[in-house]
Chain A
Amino acid sequence: MKGLDVLGLDAWYGADHILRDVRMAIRPGTITAIIGPSGCGKSTLLRCFNRMHEEVPGARVAGSVMFDGWDMYAPSSDPVDVRRHIGMVFQRPNPFPTMTVLENVVAGLRLQGRYDRATMLEAAEQAMRSAGIWDELKDRLDRPGGRLSGGQQQRVCIARALAVRPEMLLMDEPASALDPVSTQQIEDTVQELKRSITIVIVTHNMQQAARVSDYTAFMLREDPRRPSVLVEYDETRHMFTNPSHKRTEAYITGRFG
């Protein structure tokens, strides 16, 4: 399993400086939670980890991120290549509306040009099992992807991300649009996945961070005119019982944010 070394990362949207000098090492085979108040740049940071940030017109990154020793922001690195190793699940479920459930799950394989009918179904089943949705949907594989419940859609999206066998999975508040039962299912899935893949998960929910993650990163924008910084990054149990910073303590005990 592979980890990520963030060596001083800055990010901008146009002239807006959003992140300043983020440094953190994401350890292989762990679940890392990113927490912080709304607008502090959690999604931005996450999108820097698979070079999705630069897809926003005018968005820019400086610094370097090493993926298992590979400098993914080096001029010779191709963002498409980066994303094949590091998958992503978005806050709002985004199944492709023109495709069936099965087509959605194998969409990544097709988009990457790894087209092999025989292994495709196998890959789909495996990914859907990992995402905990195989039993539920195995008889409805040719349903349109958009005609599922929100929770099912999100787990289809997780399966879609897993089907291409990434080494790392980035999840941006994957359960925030879902009901408690679906949230629980997603959390179970995340726990299950940890055995085979490194996970970074953004969450607004302190309990969720405490429940699922091994490490937690707390981000904060102290002054609205200045970029956010990574305030504290530590083992989750340590951070939630004995935070080193006053701001972290105030945030996780719910005194602001």
Chain B
Amino acid sequence: MTLEIAPRRFRSIRLRKLKSDVLLGMLWLAGLIAVVPLLLIVGYVLAKGVPAINAAFFTETAPPPAVPGGGMAQAFVGTGMIVGIATLISVPLGVLTAIYLSEFGRGRLAAGVRFVAEILLSTPSIVAGAFIWALVVVAMHSFSALAGAIALTVLMWPIITRATEETLRLVPTELREGALALGSPRWKMVLRIVLPTAGSGILTAVMLAVARGFGETAPILLTSLGNDFMNADPLQPTDAVPLRVYNYAQSAFPQWQTLAWGGAITLLAAVLVLSIGARILSDRQRRRLG
């Protein structure tokens, strides 16, 4: 009896091991497939873009077609201005919304706000752009950096709100109760205990949102339009790096195409730095609270 069963058991164990190995191999492959495109993209952009990077690239404005040289200075300034304004609006707004949702909001209003943030989070960015075009550009009779910033705010606010709310919820109840039991008003407990404890988590949320803002093209195109010249007036049409990349990439001039790759590199670098920074911060935060 046992003699008969034993070999069969062995066979089934071997089979199971084989199945496990095959599955593990497939998982490895899936992981590899996920990573390969990223490496390819980074490698390709680097190869194409590095030749574009020189001093002129950062200091000169858009060259006329077929004239050598030139750079994207106006686009860097424009992106800085648009993303800067968007950050100035969306960070206070997003953090305050998150505080409301996690610390004060109960009932219908909170549910409504959370729902709106949820919807905006999955709204295609071009829709946000079109909406702000209709609302701001048409009303002000002009494309502008400000309109671009407002369009980006529509995209960045929900990111900051959601991510911040999640970090605030990670702050242990015991700390909140500790503060309240000391006779602290609720708002002071939030300001002095909850926010500092959540600290770098909030910074992470901001960095993720800013990274998103850097790369957006469609909403900027519909609201800020672009500009060949240096512009520092937020009420005027303004250039942006992704916009430049989009325009130059479609052009027939090799030198414009090179500039497009240069722009792509800087965007990629900015987004990578922000994402990796956000990752490091959130790991540190988790360790501190864990």
Residues of A whose CB lies within 8 Å of any CB of B are 50, 52, 55, 57, 80-81, 83-84, 87-88, 90, 92, 94, 96-98, 107-108, 110-113, 157, 160-161, 164
Contact = CB atoms under 8 A, between A and B. Distances in A.
Given A98-B193, A111-B179, A160-B178, 7 more contacts: A83-B180, A87-B182, A94-B177, A96-B197, A107-B179, A111-B183, A161-B181
A52 B180 contact: yes
A110 B192 contact: yes
A88 B189 contact: no
A50 B181 contact: yes
B61 to A, nearest CB: 46
Contact of A81 (B180, B183, B193): B183
A60 B180 CA distance: 17
A108 B183 contact: yes
Contacts of B180: 52, 55, 80, 83
A81 B185 CA distance: 9
B181 A96 contact: no
B178 A90 contact: yes
Interface of B: 106, 172, 174-185, 188-189, 192-193, 196-197, 199, 288-289
A83 B106 contact: no
Contacts of B199: 98
Given A52-B177, A55-B177, A111-B192, A97 B182 contact: no
A85 to B, nearest CB: 8
A95 to B, nearest CB: 8
A11 to B, nearest CB: 16
Given A57-B106, A111-B189, A164 B177 contact: no
Contacts of A98: 193, 196-197, 199
Contacts of A111: 179, 182-185, 188-189, 192-193
Contacts of A81: 183
Contacts, number: 71
Nearest to A157: B178
Nearest to B191: A111
B183 A80 contact: yes
A67 to B, nearest CB: 14
B288 A97 contact: yes
A35 to B, nearest CB: 22
Counting from the closest, the 5 A-B pairs by CB-CB distance are A84-B183, A111-B184, A108-B182, A88-B181, A94-B174
B178 A96 contact: yes
B181 A83 contact: yes
Contacts of A107: 179, 182, 192
Given A80-B184, A111-B188, A112-B184, A90 B179 contact: no
A55 B185 CA distance: 12
Nearest to B181: A88
A83 B183 contact: yes
30 contacts: A55-B177, A55-B180, A80-B184, A80-B185, A81-B183, A83-B181, A83-B182, A83-B183, A84-B183, A90-B174, A90-B177, A90-B181, A94-B175, A94-B177, A96-B179, A96-B197, A98-B193, A98-B196, A107-B179, A108-B182, A110-B192, A111-B185, A111-B188, A111-B189, A111-B192, A112-B183, A113-B188, A157-B178, A160-B182, A164-B182
A163 to B, nearest CB: 9
Contacts of A97: 175, 197, 288-289
Nearest to A170: B181
A33 B179 CA distance: 24
Given A57-B106, A97-B197, A97-B288, A92 B174 contact: yes
Contacts of A160: 178, 182
Contacts of B196: 98
B274 to A, nearest CB: 24
B97 to A, nearest CB: 20
B214 to A, nearest CB: 30
A108 B288 CA distance: 23
A198 to B, nearest CB: 16
Contacts of B185: 80, 111
A19 B177 CA distance: 21
Contacts of A83: 180-183
A161 B181 CA distance: 8
Most chain B CB inside 10 Å of its own CB: which residue of A57, A111, A160:
A111
